């Protein structure tokens, strides 16, 4: 026994040599371990883009664009409150998505200080919650302004109805954000001098005129006078819609384009007096229609200038199919001189078919089918001449 004790004592009394880390290194390892554990349990940082997609219903592309205006957001608390408010008001998910895409900062509005007071103001004007819900996606930024109530109180009687107001707002013309005293009232007074009243907003350019700087509208009146249009004429009001919306440079550019295509100043004056909307058209459309009418049809420029409505007709679906059909009938000796080309282009579709199609469709095989396909834009009319 004593012998065994003597053999074990050195082993029991001597510490076993184990590898140990220096104190600083051990502390660092422990810190990293705790940090990793904390990171695995803490929530992910708030992502504006993901929120816009998953919660607001935006597409990825629209969310990316909108998120740039919301880079300061660090939490969904305020956007959540706004979405809850809009939903309770009656906005659908697509309406909310459209609103947020158009005005991302709407999500940052205070429900208590901004949105709820706006609803109360509009309710005091007599609007129902359903009407207010329809207004919000169209008013957008203006809905967050304290001027909304007074502006709407001005526009409702001017327009004549809430529905007409919505129609104007759908034209992407935010009249609710315009300065009533400095901009709208002077323009209204000027328009009324020429018999244009705001309650008749069928012309899509009229709302744009209402919100232009008054001096710009005054300058447009002066320019129109140079075209020889009387201020009491029906065309003067139509011309004002064009000249007040576009800049002088833009209009001059259209006129130069016509002159480069062979039009004289008298031709331009004639066409604009008859149809001011001619200057609303793109240079490309003006050139394409003029090339066809002058080169392919053989019309003289003065003849076209006296009938500028020819530029309004679709080249592919009206002018070309009708011209080709008439050429086919002429080639077969079926028309003679019993028609006027401008009248043929100007006729309604039903009257054109009654005059130029139905009497001859059995005489020229395939004529009706070829014309129908050509008008629909499917295939060019291929009846041989």
Between CA 218 and CA 228, with CA 222 as vertex, the angle to 5 degrees is 145
Per-residue burial over 203-241, b if 16 or more Cβ lie within 10 Å, else e, is bebbbbbbebeeeebebbbeebeebebeeeeebbbbbbb
Which residue in 139, 163, 217, 222 sits closest to 185, CA to CA? 217
* Range of 30-44, 98-112, 243-257, 337-351 with top mean pLDDT: 98-112
Task: Give residue 178's region: left, alpha or beta (phi > 0; psi -120 to 50).
Answer: beta
Q: What is the tens place of the pLDDT at every residue in 146-193? A: 999 999 999 998 888 899 889 888 886 778 988 999 999 999 888 888
Could you give the residue ranges of the DSSP H alpha helices within 103-147?
Answer: 116-124, 129-139
**Tokens standing for 284?**
């490309």
Range 326-351 average pLDDT: 86
Exposed, middle or buried, 125 (CB in 10 Å: 0-12/13-18/19+)? Answer: middle
CA–CA separation, 105 and 67 (whole Å)? 10
CA–CA separation, 318 and 376 (whole Å)? 9
For the chain, the structural domain boundaries read 313-385
Q: What is the pLDDT of residue 42?
A: 53
Full-model pTM = 0.66
Q: What is the tens place of the pLDDT at every residue in 216-270? A: 999 998 888 888 888 777 888 888 888 988 888 999 999 998 999 899 999 999 9
More confident residue, 153 or 31: 153
* Range of 71-85, 125-139, 272-286 with top mean pLDDT: 125-139
Q: What is the tens place of the pLDDT at every residue in 186-226? A: 998 888 887 777 665 555 677 788 889 999 999 998 888 88
Count of Cβ atoms closer than 10 Å to residue 75 Cβ: 9
In the chain, % of residues over pLDDT 70: 84
Count of Cβ atoms closer than 10 Å to residue 290 Cβ: 20
**Distances, alpha carbon 304 to alpha carbons 25, 28, 228, 267, 299, in Å:** 92, 88, 19, 9, 7
**Tokens standing for 56?**
């607001």
| Contact status, residue 99 vs residue 91, Cβ threshold 8 Å | yes
Question: What is the pLDDT confidence band of residue 310, given thresholds at 50, 70 and 90?
Answer: very high
More confident residue, 305 or 21: 305
């Amino acid at each position: 026994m004593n012998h065994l004790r003597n053999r074990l004592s050195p082993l029991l009394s001597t510490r076993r040599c184990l590898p140990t880390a220096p104190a600083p290194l051990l502390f660092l390892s422990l810190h990293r371990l705790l940090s990793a554990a904390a990171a695995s349990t803490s929530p992910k940082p708030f992502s504006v883009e993901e929120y816009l997609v998953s919660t607001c219903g935006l597409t990825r592309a629209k969310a990316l664009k909108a998120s740039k205006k919301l880079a300061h957001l660090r939490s969904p608390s305020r956007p959540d409150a706004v979405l809850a408010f809009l939903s309770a008001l009656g906005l659908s998910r697509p309406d909310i998505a459209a609103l947020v895409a158009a005005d991302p900062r709407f999500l940052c509005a205070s429900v208590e200080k901004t949105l709820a007071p706006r609803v109360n103001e509009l309710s005091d004007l007599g609007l129902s919650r359903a009407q207010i819900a329809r207004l919000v996606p169209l008013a957008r930024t203006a809905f967050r302004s304290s001027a909304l109530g007074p502006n709407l109180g001005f526009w409702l009687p001017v327009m004549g109805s809430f529905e007409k107001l919505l129609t104007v707002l759908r034209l992407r013309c935010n009249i609710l954000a315009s300065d009533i005293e400095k901009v709208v009232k002077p323009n209204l007074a000027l328009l009324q001098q020429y018999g244009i009243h705001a309650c008749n907003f069928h012309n899509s350019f009229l709302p744009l005129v209402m919100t232009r700087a008054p001096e710009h509208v005054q300058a447009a009146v002066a320019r129109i006078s140079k075209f020889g249009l009387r201020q009491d004429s029906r065309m003067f009001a139509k011309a004002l819609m064009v000249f007040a919306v576009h800049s002088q440079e833009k209009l001059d550019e259209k006129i130069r384009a016509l002159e480069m295509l062979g039009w004289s100043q008298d031709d331009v004056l004639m066409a604009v007096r008859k149809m001011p909307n001619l200057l609303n058209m793109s240079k490309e459309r003006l050139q394409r229609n003029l090339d066809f009418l002058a080169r392919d049809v053989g019309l003289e420029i003065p003849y076209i200038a006296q009938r500028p409505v020819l530029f309004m007709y679709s080249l592919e679906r009206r002018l070309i199919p009708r011209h080709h059909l008439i050429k086919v009938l002429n080639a077969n000796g079926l028309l003679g001189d019993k028609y006027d080309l401008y009248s043929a282009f100007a006729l309604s579709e039903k009257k054109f078919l009654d005059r130029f199609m139905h009497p001859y469709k059995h005489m020229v095989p395939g004529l009706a089918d070829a014309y129908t396909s050509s008008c629909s834009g499917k295939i060019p009319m291929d009846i041989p001449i």
